[in-house]
Every structure is written in C-alpha cells, then in structure tokens.
Structure 1
C-alpha cells in the first residue's frame, strides 16, 4: 500500500469539530427555546418513529449524555477521515441509516436518541476493517480502538443499564461490521517491493543468500570454473610471407586560402 493514501487534510479536524459543535448547537436550541426533540427520536416499529433514523443521532437527553458522546466522536471521526478519507462520508451516512433502521426493528417501545449508535458504528468499522486489511498501520489503529473503547462492548447486552439504548449500541456494532464488507480497500493490499516477498521466492537462487550457509554463517562463493583455453585455428587465407614496408612522411602545415581550399604549405 502507498503511504500517500494517509494524508492529513482539513477534514480530519474540521469534520469532527463541526459535527460535535452541531450536536451542542441542537442541545442549546432545546435549552434556549424550550424545545423537546425527544419525540423526534426512533420509536420502534411505528411510521412516525422512522424520522428518528435520521434525527436521533443529533438529539441528547442531558448535558452528561452529550458530553459522553462528544469525546469519542471527535477521536473516532478524526481517525476515520485520516485513514479512510475516501469512504469516510459514506460510512458516516450509511452507518447512521443502517444502525437506525436496525434499532427501529429490534428496539424497545421507547424513544431511542443519541449519537452512541454512530460511535459503535465507527468503533466496529475501524476495528474489523483493520483486522481484515492486515495492514500494519490499520491493525495498530484497531488495537488502539480496543484499548480505548473495548469496554463499550458490555453495553450491547440487555439489562446492563436500563437507562441506555443497548439496542442502538448493538445495531451500531452490527452495522459497522456489515459496512466493512461493502467498502473494500484493495489499495491496502501489501505492495511487493523485494524479491523475497514473492510467494515463489527461492533463497537458493538469491546471490545474497548464497553467501550464507544453513547455519547463517558467512561463506565465500565457490570459484567460478574456467574452461580450458581452446586454440583457435587461423585461416591460411589471411597469412602472408611478404614483408610490409612503411614510409613515414613528415607532417606538413596546411594553409587555408581565401577560397576555403586547403593546400599544403611549400
């Protein structure tokens, strides 16, 4: 894989900041003007509850709920837009729609709100996609996500905390895994740069490896076998018994006349 696929752009910082600030702006509208957006959340298996598939990630019940979702969103969105810049927007959009739809199907008869479903989408996608690619930087990212947010897996099970939407968390986890199979990153396949990386590599034919024995000790290459010199017969046609006499003439200066004609100087 080419390293230039990982580029730091303004979207790596700008998109997470804008997304989180928008969540706080929505919550400020509720506080400032007394709105109640909870009715716009996901109400499972109802027609009116379908609007929550789109609106629920932007609605939070209280400031603690909003704060707990803000930090993970900043970190995970920044990682997504840096390592998966070409697919980032589609992952966010389809992740919201898919996780919201699954929540609408399996959720309890209550309003489900909050961006935690999207957080689980990002955690799931980044973790499983990194393992699938087997590219060392993405695998390291997957392990980092496990260290930071591995404890979140307990909140996809029921009866852990009745005040949270475990259905939304489970839906996000499933959605992220599903998206890894639709967004295939072929450029993450390892680019072969050296001969020894080829599957059909034979060390016995490598000139460098021939300098080492089976124990890894340095050895000299065997001396090349020199074929015996073979006398070449000369065709008698090119032989002569006559003596050749050469006359040496003194070098004379050459004068260029006005007509650009050269003539030897007398």
Structure 2
C-alpha cells in the first residue's frame, strides 16, 4: 500500500510525455494506412475536396490518410519530432497550436486549392515547423532561437514544398500550413513557452529601481527603508538616500 502511494506521487519526465501526442498520431496514421491497403475501399475519398460540401470532412480526416508507403514514411518522422518539440517547449499552448494548425490549414485548402483530393499530414507538419521556427525569431530568446535553428537544420529544405513544382504534391496544403504557422508564432509570441523563467517580485522591483535611477530620479525612503516616493533630480544627480 505504501509502495503504491509513493509510486503514484512520482513525477513523469516531461521529456517523454511530450511525445505522447506524436505517438498517438502515428498509430492512427499507420492503422488507417494498413486498413486502406487491405480493405477494398478508397480512403482518399475522406480527403479534402475543395468547395464540395462532402469535402469538408477532409479537414478532420485527411491528415490521417496517405496515398503510398513513401508518403506515410516521409511524414512519420517529422510529425513525431515536431509534435514532441511543440509539447516539450510549448506545453501550455501545444494543443491549441495543433488544433488551429489542423483545422484552419485544412479550411484554407478547402476554400482555394485545386480540384482534387488533398490528403496527408504534411500541411500540419508545415504549420508546426514554421510555428516553431518563427516563434524563435519573434520571441528573441536564446533557448527559443536554438530551437528555431534546430528546426531549420532538420527541415530547411521544406521551403521548396510551398511552390507548385510537382503537380502530384499538394503545395497548397504546404503553403497554407506555413502561413498558419507563421501567424500563430506571431500571435502567441508572448506566451506559452514551457521553459520561461519565473520572475520574482524582488527581481521586478530591482529592475524598476534601476530604470528610475537611470531616468534621473532618486528614491525617498522612511526610517525602515521603505520607498515613500520618487523625486526627480535630473540625470546629473544620482544620489540615493
């Protein structure tokens, strides 16, 4: 009984828990792919077909559907790595980013892409990659910049996927995914990072004091050292009581 209680309180390493979502996505992707290969049914019909009411279902289901073994193999490592990075470094907003990337990117494809069934996880992958990369640029924090460089190193060649170079590839899903990712990086640029350092009130007070002194003020304190008021003395007088 005691052993069970102790084990129940043990914290799970977030390094591993961040990968749960990616593993679940992979299991669903591969399960559907295997079913598609065995059953006499074309799962591609559940892809996004632009401007058709029936094609709206594809916004939900198309990322799970892949047309070939090469297709799903190419998408498997990126979604696993990028979803892990999303939930490890942005755990607080990870689910929001994933859902918005999934739905809004798919909606844009439905509105304006070519008349064809658009399938595959690549639109979501592009959104996550561009979100993580540009989040590093917008936040201008060392750790996030390092993540951005890591993503650029792994997936820098993805930039070519947003251009209509191959008629068999849904560049629209790539392009809209990238746009959504950049937009999310901008709108969430001030929140959500898991590793953000907690700031204590005394640190904030010290920063405020330093700023006031730099602007030419001095603090007037009582006998206990508490600030009564700030008094402007000009930038040449930095005497502090």
TM-score, length-normalised on structure 2? 0.74
Residue 119 (structure 1) aligned to one of 125, 129, 150: 125
Report the alpha carbon displacement of residue 154 of structure 1 after superposing the two structures with TM: 0.9
Partner of 2:78: 72
* Cα displacement string for residues 30-64 of structure 1 (whole angstroms, at most 9, x for unaligned residues): 11223311011111111111111111100000111
Tell whether 2:82 aligns with 1:82.
no
SS at 1:163 equivalent: coil
Residue 175 (structure 2) aligned to one of 170, 173, 179: 170
Report the alpha carbon displacement of residue 9 of structure 1 after superposing the two structures with TM: 5.0
Judged with a 3 Å threshold, the aligned counterparts in structure 2 of structure 1 residues 33 and 136 are, in CA distance, closer, same or farther, namely same
Q: Give the 5 Å matches for 1:91-102.
A: 91-102=97-108
Q: Partners of 1:25 and 1:68 in 2: how far apart?
A: 16
Between 1:100-109 and 1:114-123, the stretch displaced more is 100-109
Larger radius of gyration: 1
Tell whether 2:105 aligns with 1:105.
no
Q: Give the 5 Å matches for 1:23-172.
A: 23-158=29-164, 160-172=165-177
- Size of the aligned set, in residue pairs, is 197
Q: Compute the RMSD of aligned alpha carbons.
A: 2.5
Q: Partners of 2:212 and 2:148 in 1: how far apart?
A: 31
TM-score, length-normalised on structure 1? 0.67
Tell whether 2:15 aligns with 1:13.
no
* Cα displacement string for residues 97-122 of structure 1 (whole angstroms, at most 9, x for unaligned residues): 00001111221011100000000010
Judged with a 3 Å threshold, the aligned counterparts in structure 2 of structure 1 residues 15 and 186 are, in CA distance, closer, same or farther, namely closer
User: Does structure 1 retain, via aligned residues, the 8 Å contact 2:50–2:111?
Assistant: yes
The unaligned stretches of length 5 or more in structure 2 are: 1-12, 215-241
Judged with a 3 Å threshold, the aligned counterparts in structure 2 of structure 1 residues 201 and 177 are, in CA distance, closer, same or farther, namely farther
Judged with a 3 Å threshold, the aligned counterparts in structure 2 of structure 1 residues 201 and 131 are, in CA distance, closer, same or farther, namely farther
Report the alpha carbon displacement of residue 16 of structure 1 after superposing the two structures with TM: 1.1
Report the alpha carbon displacement of residue 184 of structure 1 after superposing the two structures with TM: 4.4
Q: Which has the higher helix share?
A: 2
Judged with a 3 Å threshold, the aligned counterparts in structure 2 of structure 1 residues 183 and 196 are, in CA distance, closer, same or farther, namely closer
Judged with a 3 Å threshold, the aligned counterparts in structure 2 of structure 1 residues 123 and 45 are, in CA distance, closer, same or farther, namely same
Q: Partners of 1:173 and 1:145 in 2: how far apart?
A: 13
* Cα displacement string for residues 162-218 of structure 1 (whole angstroms, at most 9, x for unaligned residues): 11000000010011112224434347677595968955676xxxxxxxxxxxxxxxx
Judged with a 3 Å threshold, the aligned counterparts in structure 2 of structure 1 residues 174 and 196 are, in CA distance, closer, same or farther, namely same
Q: Partners of 1:199 and 1:126 in 2: how far apart?
A: 33
